[in-house]
Amino acid sequence: MHPISAGERVEFRLWPNDQPYTGTVVEVREAVPQADPRIRRVDNEAHALVDVDTGGQAAVALSELRKIEG
């Protein structure tokens, strides 16, 4: 079981600007290791799809997410 699940509020930072973002987890996905370099790096580790508060959606490694309490 992952420490983060769908529906939870999270904070994260995206490379390269390192600006903090917040959003709601839509789905948590298991790692699917890929040898093809065209595949997103995040697919190689457990990650979440997050609806970003400022718009759009991001795939973020679980290790990069921080739960927002309350």
pLDDT level of residue 60 (50, 70, 90 thresholds): very high
Give the chain's domain count: 1
Per-residue pLDDT, 28: 94
For residue 4 the two structure tokens come to 């983060």
Residue 47's domain comprises 9-67
Residue 5: what pLDDT?
A: 94
Residue 54 — left, alpha, or beta (φ > 0 → left; ψ -120 to 50 → alpha)?
A: alpha
Mean pLDDT of 37-63: 86
Residue 2 falls within a domain, yes or no? no
Q: How far apart are CA 60 and CA 62, in angstroms?
A: 6
Within-domain flag for 50: yes
Task: Output the CA–CA distances (angstroms, integers) from residue 2 to 20, 27, 29, 38, 63, in the order listed.
Answer: 22, 11, 10, 27, 11
Written as six digits, the tokens of 18 are 């390192």
Q: What is the pLDDT of residue 57?
A: 95
1-45 pLDDT, tens per residue? 568 999 999 999 987 888 999 999 999 998 877 776 666 667 788
